[in-house]
Amino acid sequence: MKLWGGRFQKEENKLMEDFNSSLPFDKRLYKQDITGSITHVTMLAKSQILTHEERDKIIEGLESILKDIEEGNLKIEGNYEDIHSFVESNLIQRIGELGKKLHTSRSRNDQVAVDMKLFAKENGNIIVSMLKELNQTISTIADENKAIMPGYTHLQRAQVVTFKQHMMAYCSMFERDKKRLLNCLDILDESPLGCCALAGTTYDIDRAFTAEKLGFKKPVDNFMDGVSDRDYLIEMLSAFSIIMMHLSRLSEELIIWSTQEFRFVQIDDAYATGSSIMPQKKNPDAAELIRGKTGRVYGALMGMLTTMKGIPLAYNKDMQEDKQQYFDALDTVTACLAIMNEMLKTIKVNKEVMKEAVKAGFLNATEVADYLVNKGVAFRDAHKIVGEIVLLCESKKLAIEDLTLSDLKTVDDRFENDIYDFIDYENVLNKGIKKELL
């Protein structure tokens, strides 16, 4: 059954019907659609547009549809244009002619807009709590694995840091991601229900009532904007893309750290896979998939930006393209956050290997320079002196702390015995603001 057709003299072409139908994907909005309709009908009765009996019958019908869908007794399928047509047709089948009054002073334009916003709010909040959970896991493994490790710049060993400091950097990133999402959720929190097609309605409906009932801060200010705003989805997709970028960076580290070359961590067998030919292989597929799926979420963001860029006011069918892109990105971020959380919970940190890597990388060279600065040498001169010491170490295949005092004095005679204590890796972390790394 179609929601339109009065002015048409020909049947819709089958190809066109399939091309136009959004039911296969917008069926995900059934709950929001029914909730929106119940609220709309409640308002219609309150505004004396429907009687209380009519309201009660329609609500009863809508609730029975919801119940049947949730209990698996009503499958969302068939020859319907979209979820809105599906629900309305079902309502008419159940309660008869009265069902046709549901759509009084409403358009599918404001209906789909409110459905999608309700959906985005609910799921946005789920992503926020997943980010909280991930940060909890990261903090726990950071606290449970007190270890020093090389910190890198240019992926070259740079200075000694702690595993905790390294991991907590990701907590800071995910904390910002959370704020970004909460900010999107705050900006989108205005109800488009009641804008109707684009120009409101001749009925004195109560938009403030439906907005409040549905949990929005207020109704939108402008009807035409209300039905054609998809900024909030673009913002959510942008926040999702940034989350994926962060997850991908973390994945990349886990992939590198779990190589034979690094051996800093071991990914649990439960989150790795093997090779069909090389019996020894254990591959970090979960992390690689997260890294790979990042492109897909960026794609949704670019897709939506491009879909929206040439659309005149107000509603245009192009906007139906928001759903698949948004749903796919949402599902991807959800799955990636879940797997990252579980993978991290079970990761094994090889503290000894990390410590060995610290020793092998001249990671106290900067502190040797600080030592000389304490003796009155200008930092730039100290930098040069330590450079010569590193060359000496490389020729002798020794770490700086393994050089004898007389070796050190051949380069600069201001070195004394206290240098060894000063540049000890653990001691270094107890000096100045480096204490914050612990």
Shortest CB 113 distance to ligand ARG, Å = 8
Question: Cα–Cα distance between 87 and 312 in angstroms, integer?
Answer: 29
Contact 69, 29 (CB under 8 A): no
Q: 21, 241, 275, 276: which is the annotated catalytic residue? A: 275
Of 294, 309, 310, 303, the closest CA to residue 326 belongs to 303
C-alpha 348: how far from its chain's center?
Answer: 25
End-to-end CA gap in the chain: 67
Question: Cα–Cα distance between 385 and 379 in angstroms, integer?
Answer: 10
Shortest CB 163 distance to ligand ARG, Å = 47
Question: Cα–Cα distance between 32 and 272 in angstroms, integer?
Answer: 38
Token pair for 27 = 């069926």
Shortest CB 272 distance to ligand ARG, Å = 40
Shortest CB 213 distance to ligand ARG, Å = 22
DSSP annotation string for 122-154 = HHHHHHHHHHHHHHHHHHHHHHH---EEEEEET
User: Which is nearer to ligand ARG, 109 or 135 (by Cβ)?
Assistant: 109
**Would residue 350 be called left, alpha or beta, if left means φ above 0 and alpha means ψ between -120 and 50 degrees?**
beta
User: Which is nearer to ligand ARG, 104 or 320 (by Cβ)?
Assistant: 320
Shortest CB 111 distance to ligand ARG, Å = 7
Contact 132, 178 (CB under 8 A): yes
Question: Cα–Cα distance between 252 and 243 in angstroms, integer?
Answer: 14
Write down the number of H helices and E strands in the chain: 18, 6
Question: Cα–Cα distance between 313 and 295 in angstroms, integer?
Answer: 31
User: Which is nearer to ligand ARG, 294 or 325 (by Cβ)?
Assistant: 325
Is residue 154 part of the annotated active site? The answer reads yes
User: Which is nearer to ligand ARG, 109 or 350 (by Cβ)?
Assistant: 109
Question: Cα–Cα distance between 406 and 182 in angstroms, integer?
Answer: 60
Shortest CB 329 distance to ligand ARG, Å = 16
Contact 173, 166 (CB under 8 A): no
User: Which is nearer to ligand ARG, 22 or 159 (by Cβ)?
Assistant: 22
Shortest CB 282 distance to ligand ARG, Å = 45
What phi and psi values does residue 283 have, to the nearest 5 degrees? -105, 140
Of 119, 272, 306, 112, the closest CA to residue 192 belongs to 112
The bridge status of strand 218-219 relative to strand 265-266 is: unpaired
Token pair for 338 = 């879940």
Token pair for 379 = 């930092």
User: Which is nearer to ligand ARG, 22 or 248 (by Cβ)?
Assistant: 22
Q: Write out the residues near ligand ARG by the rule CB under 6 A.
A: 22, 26, 82, 108-109, 112, 315, 319-320
User: Which is nearer to ligand ARG, 191 or 294 (by Cβ)?
Assistant: 191
Q: 107, 129, 154, 172: which is the annotated catalytic residue? A: 154
C-alpha 361: how far from its chain's center?
Answer: 36
Question: Cα–Cα distance between 145 and 137 in angstroms, integer?
Answer: 12
Shortest CB 7 distance to ligand ARG, Å = 14
Query: Which residue is at the shortest CB distance from ligand ARG?
Result: 320
User: Which is nearer to ligand ARG, 318 or 402 (by Cβ)?
Assistant: 318
Point out the residues that are catalytic.
154, 275
